[in-house]
Amino acid sequence: MEQEFSSILLENAVTALSRLPGVGRKTALRFALHLLRRPSDEAEALGNAIIGMRTGIRYCLKCHNISENELCPICASPSRNAAVVCVVENVKDVMSIENTRQFTGLYHVLGGLISPVDGVGPDALQIASLVERVKEGGVDEVILATGATVEADTTNFYIFRLISRAAPDVKITQLARGVSVGNEIEYTDEATLARSILSRTPFEL
């Protein structure tokens, strides 16, 4: 690819920034030029923050939420109800539900949804670890909070079948349909999401 700018350093910075989601080369150039105009310690602080985040954050061994330790603060908290596990698609969904302040149980982050069109099967997600977690005991209810998309419904059905066989006494519920069909959890307003959690219903095929 032919070099677009007179400086290879600027070219490299723009190329790196444009790899971020939703950032095209024009926006990346604007970011890069902004950083050039700022004091060098601000750019260094940004770089150090990104490196620190990338090297210091891991995934919770229990729920797969982001964490700086083996267990995330939610799993490590004695005040949380370990008998109720809320299954979500990603880390952003954990943040959305936590912001409602209506859920006091634990989470299980799948890391995505089953989507044959995109080549994402069950083995690519944290489904097996969820089933093992439930089989170990201590879980009375599993809430399927993966949204209201086709991919979410497919994932919910798959999880329902596995848990029903592995732990038939565990209650399996889903968010009340205050979450509109086709919506993802992270785009649902907090009030609606809170009502959906409190009014959750038994999962139905």
CA separation for the pair 103, 123 (Å, rounded): 28
* The pair of three-digit structure tokens given for residue 93, joined into one six-digit string: 């969904």
CA separation for the pair 200, 102 (Å, rounded): 12
Please report the pLDDT score of residue 204 as a whole number.
66
For the entire predicted model, the pTM comes to 0.81
Alpha-carbon Rg of the chain, whole angstroms? 21
For β-strands 66-67 and 58-59, DSSP reports them as: antiparallel
Burial (0-12, 13-18, 19+ Cβ within 10 Å), 136:
exposed
pLDDT for residue 85 is more than 80: yes
pLDDT tens-digit profile of 30-67?
999 999 999 999 999 999 999 999 999 999 999 999 99
For β-strands 141-144 and 81-88, DSSP reports them as: parallel
The DSSP string of 83-146 is EEEEEESSHHHHHHHHHHT---EEEEE-SS--BGGGTB-GGGTTHHHHHHHHHTS---EEEE-S
Burial (0-12, 13-18, 19+ Cβ within 10 Å), 82:
middle
Ranges 8-12, 122-126, 175-179: which has the least confidence: 175-179
Q: Residue 149 to residues 25, 43, 142, 156, 158: CA-CA distances in angstroms?
A: 32, 40, 19, 10, 14
Average pLDDT on 137-150 reads 92
Give all domains of the chain, ordered by start, each with its CATH number: 8-56 (1.10.8.420), 74-202 (3.40.1360.10)
pLDDT tens-digit profile of 153-199?
899 999 999 999 999 999 999 887 654 544 566 666 676 677 677 76
